[in-house]
């Protein structure tokens, strides 16, 4: 069968850099760090006491207070990001076939704060168990997709994919595949996460995955730098409206970019460490290029996973080099996690939006905090250090990898008839 073309017609974001796409993108281009001391709880006893928190988020702008109380932050972020994307797309729910309009939205962890709160209460009281009746629907990670679907009356595919830090990208790829197979016309896709919590901070810290640069949080996320010491937890939500091309054209929609292809793979190696030769990452990219039907030398920009971990950064660049060959020296590369922190299940959505905006505006967002390049990394690479730069972008590749060896790569391209 002939595959349909899929375009992006709406974007929405709640990130540590801003509560909209425009604010987030503007701060990315300025090289702003979203990091700071943790405000949600007393982190003074932890080895890491900072994170990239969302700032000045007002849930009441997109939901009433009663509804907000029944939602974990990850779902609040999802609803807010989806709302911006929906308005941005100009879709009228009354004028589309809602049986072919869906939501595919994931989270890596879901409502971890709700579980924490309820268990703390239970163990403190020691009396007859009393749990919030909304505990289960607040914590399950598929609930965000359900709420978005209900809000817009979308009766099409509605589910969540979870693949740790590759989650949002996997959801975007699933949405892309369903639309091009004519199983849907429109899908709201992306991911959200609210992991700035005691158990998440404690767990990642015990795994020695986090930066401990408490004296200077703003420079703690430093991908590719020789002095990097771990990632910084981030949070928020990112939404993309994916739409079948002819459906979008028929309603006169603006088009940000086209989804060219997606690839997925498994490391089959270790539950947390990447394959030492980057094979899983390489396979994911190879599958994406094959799916898109393009040659590696057509890529202008790669938004790498680039978490700022000592092991992960050089391994990923090794895989990118295998994939792009000599063309890697003509390719712009950056890690926007240097600014947003690691949004875990939302990361792929943040970074897909960065790729799409790079295509739209012809600007590469920087890798900030790159002061001294790791000697293990090829100094000839264009890692866009510290300052954004203008560049025409026809094709952009977004890589995301997660615990469990989950890898997902998606390619966006400039739209043309």
Give yes or no: residues 316 and 172 share one domain: no
Q: Which of 202, 228, 250 is the endpoint of a domain?
A: 250
Domains in the chain, number: 2
Classify residue 256: in a domain, yes or no: no
* pLDDT confidence of residue 369: 98
* pLDDT confidence of residue 125: 80
Question: CB under 8 Å to 412, separation ≥6 — which residues?
Answer: 8, 257, 258, 259, 260, 352, 355, 356, 359, 395, 396, 398
Q: Tell me the CATH number at 270.
A: 3.40.47.10
Q: Could you list the residue range(s) of the whole structural domain that residue 188 is in? A: 6-250
Give yes or no: residues 385 and 295 share one domain: yes
* pLDDT confidence of residue 399: 98
Residue-wise pLDDT for 83-115, tens only, equals 999 999 999 999 999 999 999 999 999 999 999
Nearest to 379 by CA among 321, 322, 335: 321
Give yes or no: residues 227 and 294 share one domain: no
Give yes or no: residues 68 and 200 share one domain: yes
Classify residue 257: in a domain, yes or no: no
Classify residue 255: in a domain, yes or no: no
* pLDDT confidence of residue 70: 95
Q: Which of 194, 218, 250 is the endpoint of a domain?
A: 250
Give yes or no: residues 116 and 146 share one domain: yes
Cα first-last separation, the chain: 21
* pLDDT confidence of residue 26: 98
The first and second tokens of residue 13, run together, are: 């974001």
Classify residue 104: in a domain, yes or no: yes
Give yes or no: residues 291 and 341 share one domain: yes
* pLDDT confidence of residue 287: 98
Give yes or no: residues 393 and 337 share one domain: yes
Give yes or no: residues 193 and 326 share one domain: no
Q: Which of 184, 218, 250 is the endpoint of a domain?
A: 250
Classify residue 362: in a domain, yes or no: yes
Give yes or no: residues 235 and 314 share one domain: no
Give yes or no: residues 319 and 382 share one domain: yes
Per-residue CA distances from 113 to 194, 199, 287 (Å): 8, 8, 36
pLDDT-flagged residues of the chain (< 70): none
Residue-wise pLDDT for 242-294, tens only, equals 999 999 999 999 999 999 999 999 999 999 999 999 999 999 999 999 999 99
Question: CB under 8 Å to 409, separation ≥6 — which residues?
Answer: 169, 262, 263, 264, 281, 284, 285, 287, 288, 397, 398, 399, 400
Q: What count of residues does the chain have? A: 417
Give yes or no: residues 241 and 318 share one domain: no
Give yes or no: residues 368 and 392 share one domain: yes
Active site residues: 165, 305, 342
């Amino acid at each position: 069968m002939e595959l349909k073309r899929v375009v992006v017609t709406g974007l929405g974001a709640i990130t540590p850099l801003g509560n909209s796409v425009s604010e987030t993108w503007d701060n990315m281009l300025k090289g702003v760090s979203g990091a700071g001391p943790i405000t949600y709880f007393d982190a003074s006893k932890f080895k890491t006491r900072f994170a990239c928190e969302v700032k000045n988020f007002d849930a009441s702008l997109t939901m009433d207070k009663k509804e907000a109380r029944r939602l974990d932050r990850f779902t609040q972020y999802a609803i807010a990001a989806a709302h911006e994307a929906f308005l941005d797309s100009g879709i009228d729910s009354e004028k589309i076939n809602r049986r072919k309009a869906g939501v595919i939205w994931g989270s890596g962890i879901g409502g971890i704060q709700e579980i924490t709160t309820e268990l703390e209460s239970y163990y403190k009281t020691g009396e007859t168990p009393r749990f919030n009746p909304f505990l289960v629907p607040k914590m399950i990670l598929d609930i965000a997709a359900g709420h978005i679907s209900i809000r817009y009356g979308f009766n099409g595919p509605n589910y969540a994919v979870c693949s740790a830090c590759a989650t949002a990208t996997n959801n975007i790829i699933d949405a892309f595949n369903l639309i091009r197979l004519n199983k849907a016309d429109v899908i709201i896709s992306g991911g959200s996460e609210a992991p700035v919590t005691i158990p998440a901070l404690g767990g990642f810290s015990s795994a020695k995955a986090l930066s401990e640069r408490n004296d200077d949080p703003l420079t703690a996320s430093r991908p590719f730098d020789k002095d990097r010491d771990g990632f910084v937890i981030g949070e928020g939500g990112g939404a993309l409206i994916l739409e079948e091309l002819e459906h979008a054209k028929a309603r006169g929609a603006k088009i940000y970019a086209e989804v060219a292809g997606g690839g997925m793979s498994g490391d089959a190696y270790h539950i947390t460490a990447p394959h030492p030769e980057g094979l899983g990452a390489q396979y994911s990219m190879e599958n994406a290029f094959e799916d898109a039907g393009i040659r590696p030398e057509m890529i202008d920009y790669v938004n790498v996973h680039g978490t700022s971990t000592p092991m992960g950064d050089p391994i990923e660049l090794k895989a990118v080099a295998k994939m792009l060959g000599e063309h890697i020296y003509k390719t712009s590369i950056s890690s926007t996690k240097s600014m947003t922190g690691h949004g875990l299940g939302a990361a792929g959505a943040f970074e897909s939006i960065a790729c799409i905006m790079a295509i739209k505006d012809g600007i590469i967002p920087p890798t900030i905090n790159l002061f001294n390049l790791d000697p293990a990394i090829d100094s000839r690479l264009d890692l866009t250090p510290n300052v954004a730069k203008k560049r025409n972008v026809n094709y952009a590749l977004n890589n995301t990898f997660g615990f469990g060896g989950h890898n997902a790569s998606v390619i966006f391209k400039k739209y043309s008839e």
